[in-house]
Amino acid sequence: MTPQENLIQRLKNQQGLIGIVGLGYVGLPLMLRYNSIGFKVLGIDINEKKVADLNAGVSDIEHIPNVKIKEAVQSGFQASTDFSRVSECDALILCVPTPLNKYREPDLSYVINTMNSLKPYLRAGQVISLESTTYPGTTEEELLPRVEEGGLKVGENIFLVYSPEREDPGNPDFETRTIPKVIGGHTPSCLEAGIALYEQAIDEVVSVSSTKAAEMTKLLENIHRAVNIGLVNEMKIVADRMGIDIFEVIDAAATKPFGFTAYYPGPGLGGHCIPIDPFYLTWKAREYGLHTRFIELSGEVNKAMPEYVMNKLMDGLNNSGKAVKGSKVLVLGIAYKKNVDDMRESPSVEVMELIRAKGAAVAYSDPHVPVFPKMRAHTFDLNSVALTAESLASYDAVVLTTNHDGFDYDLIKQHAKLIIDTRGIYRDPAAHIIKA
């Protein structure tokens, strides 16, 4: 039996050990899915506290309850910081961050450092899947040579695929199992091994011709959203100048049963994908002498939204006879999207930075983020403010940046002196509400 045949048989019989490297918003749901269908799963992460918490049955992600982690541990899941245990695994799924550096260039250090930590312990008969979003060519250019460095041959005795993550935290309509999985292999035998890995856990596996095609697929999905959100953010500014409610217009346009998809404006782009991933393609395209004008223009529009919100706040305070400097401003919602605790690239924090820079005293309220977390680029020593009639009335303005379902919008409307609404929550005109 060939290494590929043995691997596929072990995966189909659920005898293979699944190794998941990176136990965050992507890796943890994937672990739970494989665990739930009977696979033994080993999680590897460099964060010692995260590993200790998971082994104790404690989740650090709000929408994944502790009870699910406890059940996984009881049925065999283990987390570890020991990369030497990689040799035990039949499959290795890499779910590590791929941020941008300060020059908006791809930072592959997490991927490269992870592969360098794995490669001494790779063995024949394994399949390696990269799920981190990246530019086309990463799997071939960065992973392939490192996998083969010790004498293994990809496509013959070890197998390499790319399968982009498609998690949407907080979305009740989809889960890991029901989101179709795109996969591309370095060789046809790699693709077969990758399909055997994922078809056990995912309802629909969609194969493409190469790892590059799979990498480009993920970028197209996110660029599509970034460009359309940039378009609707620009439309918001035009509509506002004309005295038109853009949310009313979008809702009306969305009644068209073909040819239109509703995208809604906001204070900017947040999350680990949409603000970052398009620039991976922009960077790579330069290697081919190409200039990605749509991507860069939408990035400029979306990046300017926090400033737009700040200008609306200044106008509102000015109309009340107040300066920003010395005012008290409450930001409502600092997660990047509603009903989650995910702070990555949140435009709300950009708005907070701008408010603070203008000399106002800034505070926040977010039922999903009780304490402002440590972030690479932002430092606020703050706790979430409880929303009461008294607390709302004590601020000169509130800026609604993330529309959590947990907010009492009637209470906010009744007691806030000034509301800057970036999410279209308040459709009826009111003297103290400014759409932004």
Give the active site residues. 273
Residue 409 CA to residue 295 CA, distance in Å, equals 35
- The tokens for 293 are 């004008």
> Which residues lie closer than 8 Å to 418 by C-beta, 6 or more apart?
316, 317, 320, 396, 397, 398, 432, 434
∠ at Cα 204 (10, 97), nearest 5°?
A: 80
Token pair in block for residue 32: 């739970």
Q: 383-419 burial, b if ≥16 CB within 10 A, otherwise e?
A: ebbebeeebbeebbbbbbbbbbeebebeebbebbbbb
Q: Which residues contact 366 (CB under 8 A, 6 or more apart)?
A: 332, 333, 334, 335, 384, 402, 404
**Cα–chain-centroid distance for residue 224?**
15
CB atoms under 10 Å from CB of 151, counted, come to 8
The identity of residue 5, as a single letter, is E
Distance between CA atoms of residues 22 and 309, nearest Å: 35
Cβ(351)–Cβ(320) under 8 Å? Answer: no
Query: In the chain, what are the helix, strand and coil shares in percent, each to the nearest 5?
Result: 40, 15, 45
* Closest among 363, 428, 431, 365 to 402, alpha carbons compared: 365
